[in-house]
Structure 1
């Protein structure tokens, strides 16, 4: 469901005030990007946006907080998943809307909500003023819109080089993951809300706000970004055959997925028997034995297409499934 943004009043000329938070490493022509964005917003009657560049020390949160203090109505996050996540952490609980201009490889939020990766389309979505109010997950004071994870998924991300991602796109994550298929599982205790803890031997635990992975593959069919719940996927394959069966079932989505259990809750605490790699929305964070997440319902305004103009993702999903089948078959052969 979309709704008109409830942000600050428009500027004197009728347009909304905006800011662009851009990761310069992800943009080949920064000056060209600035011209394109400024011209598109001017054509819509919006004033010239504020501009902020992210740094290694501050990947976007501080810049977004400064933009909010300056009184903007919309923040454009222009970069990869890390830039988007940093902007989200500064916008949670405010009336300022997030508009995503993807420039990285993963683009998980865009993939899950049907947002175009085309710059012109992303700008048009913001100008049309379609809005959706989303839930946001929180881990150690940081926020995620897609997933938090512990174990194999974070190992896969850490093993994937920026150069490989730039060369082949999202399948680079699969290449990185193949290196860790035979790693030792972890013993975890998973406590959801006030229920007794669940103990498992797992390779990965994912705490999800939405259900799609890289490449548009849908892992969790019932996860929705505004239902007030976190969906918890516990993956426990033990052999290469288990991995292949799990991957094939996720791609085909026929019946249950072997070696995967799913739980739901509003507060989730995962405790492992040893320190594990962790990730938020595709960005690796500090390793730990614990991953504690809570849901913050309806905490973020996101710019989305108006209902009659929302893109059809069927073709992209079909292509992603075909590519996923190829990758699973390669894993079987190995």
Structure 2
């Protein structure tokens, strides 16, 4: 049996909680894992580094997208497989890989599943697995993280988004692989590694986390009317079919903004910036998935 580490967000739960995870691992023969619980995902990287230093050969992560992102930021390029027990609000990365919110099944996949090498994005020096964005989505996440998300889950995102639709746009200059691609007003810039947001809404068509490329989208929709049209078009087709949206695939992208705008990655808010620089790191992380996934 590999030397197994467990990095768990103590504030997240699914099924019978962390006690069920301990028991399930023990029944599978992992009786003494390197166990570490953190109160916030930002404390996870230090625990992952310690586990790797102690010889971990497999790292289980318990939590949501933010927790996975913090751990992947350290694990990328190390060659140590990642196993995920989805216990967050959206679990977009786990959902994109068809990983279950069922502890026994997730443990079985983590211990004995196939290994899939996946890309990660890196933006302003920090890696992400799902999406990074500046503008409306980041402000929405900041508001939802003020306690609403823990109380109301996904509904918190919808509620806070509705409050942000009247926000002022900013000007953006975007270079793709060294060439000018977009210049003009924008209300949201998204850089994705997978295609779907919660609810199964496809933001980026034909996105794959193992194609060596990132997805880039920018929208200049303003106000409730234009955003309603954009969201409706996305729900019945693709975001790129909206007249307010442009998308493309990139290896690297640089974004200059006219004013400081908050950005986020994998559902976690970050600071306000006027400059974003992102690139893809192909096949940087190994994830245990279902056989054939």
CA deviations 1:73-116 (Å, max 9, x no partner) are: 21111122221111001100011111111222121211222211
CA distance in 1, matches of 2:241, 2:155: 24
Matches within 5 A, 1:178-197: 178-197=162-181
Matches within 5 A, 1:210-229: 210-229=194-213
Matched, 1:285 2:270: yes
CA distance in 2, matches of 1:67, 1:259: 46
State the aligned residue count: 292
TM-score, structure 2 normalization: 0.93
Contact 2:114 2:290 in 1 (8 A): yes
For the residue of structure 1 that corresponds to 2:164, the secondary structure is coil
Matches within 5 A, 1:306-321: 306-307=291-292
CA distance in 2, matches of 1:295, 1:28: 32
Contact 1:16 1:47 in 2 (8 A): no
For the residue of structure 1 that corresponds to 2:88, the secondary structure is coil
Matched, 1:41 2:22: no
The aligned counterpart of 1:296 is 281
For structure 1, the 5+ residue unaligned runs are 1-14, 311-334
Structure with the larger strand share: 2
Moved more, 267-276 or 124-133: 124-133
For the residue of structure 2 that corresponds to 1:155, the secondary structure is helix
The aligned counterpart of 2:36 is 52
CA distance in 1, matches of 2:87, 2:133: 23
Contact 1:145 1:281 in 2 (8 A): yes
Contact 1:17 1:47 in 2 (8 A): no
RMSD over aligned CA atoms reads 2.0
The aligned counterpart of 2:86 is 102
Matched, 1:18 2:1: no
Matches within 5 A, 1:1-334: 15-27=1-13, 33-56=17-40, 58-161=42-145, 163-253=147-237, 256-307=241-292
The aligned counterpart of 1:10 is none
- Look at both structures and tell me which one has the larger radius of gyration over its CA atoms: 1
CA deviations 1:242-280 (Å, max 9, x no partner) are: 111111111111682331100221111111100001001
Contact 1:81 1:282 in 2 (8 A): yes
Contact 1:111 1:212 in 2 (8 A): no
Contact 1:59 1:82 in 2 (8 A): no
TM-score, structure 1 normalization: 0.82
